[in-house]
Amino acid sequence: MKHTGFVYSAEYLKHRTKFHPECKERLTAILSRLEQSGLLAQLLSVQPYPATIEQIALVHSKDYIGVVRDSCRQGVRMLDMDTQISHNSYEVACLAVGGALAGVDAVIQAEADNVFCAVRPPGHHALPDKAMGFCLFNNVAVAARYAQQEYGLNKVLIIDWDVHHGNGTYDVFAADPSVFYFSIHQFPHYPGTGRADETGCDKGAGTSLHVPLSAGGGDAEYIATFKQQLAPAVLAFKPELILISAGFDAHEADALSSIQLSSKGFGRLTDIVRELADEVCAGRIVSVLEGGYNLTALAESAYEHIRALQGAAD
Ligand SMILES: [Zn+2]
């Protein structure tokens, strides 16, 4: 069985939102499911640390980082029409990025085979100089750049199965041939991007793969896509590390989408990714929480995901 790490801190609860689906109860729901099942005790506890401004600036402009910091301190409540902040949100967002970085450290330094990072706020809509869609800093994008800069990795592959297209991540890496971005998402849907013909640009042409799905798709469509489209892309690209933007809002019970994945379906997708990672990158996977807004479905899906990261068959 794999040695799986788990990143979490109660500090993540201090990003306060009001009447908002992206709430602190998302993390406490995951934590209690893991505790109550006994799974938490099997995981290596990986401590997050606050990412430095220099680390966050691997993706975001320093001007924007300053705007986030100052807005939180000045009591601003909204960074865009969907994205709430509170007094501590800047520090929490730095710790969310640092949670993903700590996951990379643990996997590259072989303390864990793979890691799940239960962090918030999420990141994949965040653009280099703009907050968007509940996201302040792009946790996964910074983690990819950090793995390259800190550990000299050449090629990183990101699998984004959040039900929304990760427009922020695509924006960061569209022209970069060293980071492959795969996204499967409901389309048309928020944020409006993610067409199949958006395959990267300039030197990064061909290193992005978008699979837009119509409302109503579920486990069968996802598993077929992973086997028929993702697997050959991973085997051809040969990444040294796989990052997952693990949103669980494609669940059939989630109110923010019309995709019908089951909790077990997330486990099946994880099995496929784990086997691919074994083949190309010594099993290295860092999975970072994105969306997922039905608390029961989120907790159950995260549970199935982590069990599959462990390689624990039912
Ligand atoms: Zn989402």
Hey, where are the domains in the chain? 4-310
**Residue 1 C-alpha to ligand 1 middle, in angstroms?**
30
Which residues touch 190 (CB under 8 Å, ≥6 apart)? 133, 164
Strands 179-186 and 208-213: parallel
**Of the candidates 155, 172, 147, which has an alpha carbon nearest to the alpha carbon of residue 61?**
172
Q: Which two tokens stand for residue 232?
A: 């050959």
Confidence of residue 313 (pLDDT cuts 50, 70, 90): low
CA distance linking residue 133 with residue 31, whole number of Å: 24
Can you list the alpha helix ranges (DSSP code H) found in 139-218? Answer: 139-151, 167-173
CA distance linking residue 174 with residue 188, whole number of Å: 20
> At which residue do the structure tokens 């022209």 appear?
175
**Residue 137 C-alpha to ligand 1 middle, in angstroms?**
15
**Residue 57 C-alpha to ligand 1 middle, in angstroms?**
24
Neighbours of ion ligand 1 (CB under 5 A): 162, 164, 247, 249, 291
**Residue 164 C-alpha to ligand 1 middle, in angstroms?**
4
CA distance linking residue 203 with residue 148, whole number of Å: 17
Cβ atoms of 231 and 278 within 8 Å: the answer is no
- Ramachandran area for residue 222 (φ above 0: left; ψ -120 to 50: alpha; else beta): alpha
- Taking only the tens place, the pLDDT of each residue in 38-67 is 999 999 999 999 999 999 999 999 999 999
> At which residue do the structure tokens 């949670």 appear?
99
Domain 4-310, CATH 3.40.50.1820 — does that match? no
Is the pTM higher than 0.95? The answer reads: yes
Confidence of residue 312 (pLDDT cuts 50, 70, 90): confident
Element (H, E) at 286: strand 285-289
Three-class secondary structure of residue 295 per DSSP: helix
**Residue 248 C-alpha to ligand 1 middle, in angstroms?**
7
Work out the percent of the chain whose per-residue pLDDT is above 90: 99
pLDDT number for residue 314: 52
**Residue 269 C-alpha to ligand 1 middle, in angstroms?**
17
**Residue 110 C-alpha to ligand 1 middle, in angstroms?**
30
Report, as residue numbers or ranges, the catalytic residues: 125
Classify residue 55 by burial, with Cβ atoms within 10 Å: 0-12, 13-18, 19+. buried
**Mean pLDDT throughout 88-102?**
98
**Residue 90 C-alpha to ligand 1 middle, in angstroms?**
21
**Residue 149 C-alpha to ligand 1 middle, in angstroms?**
28
* Average model confidence (pLDDT) across the chain: 97
Our measurement of the distance from residue 114's CA atom to the centroid of its chain's CA atoms, rounded to an integer in Å, reads: 14
Residue 128 has a CB neighbour count (10 Å cut-off) of: 14
- Ramachandran area for residue 2 (φ above 0: left; ψ -120 to 50: alpha; else beta): beta
Element (H, E) at 65: helix 62-73
Taking 90 as the threshold, does the pLDDT of residue 131 lie above it?
yes
- Taking only the tens place, the pLDDT of each residue in 168-213 is 999 999 999 999 999 999 999 999 999 999 999 999 999 999 999 9
Cβ atoms of 13 and 31 within 8 Å: the answer is no
- Taking only the tens place, the pLDDT of each residue in 218-263 is 999 999 999 999 999 999 999 999 999 999 999 999 999 999 999 9
Cβ atoms of 17 and 84 within 8 Å: the answer is yes
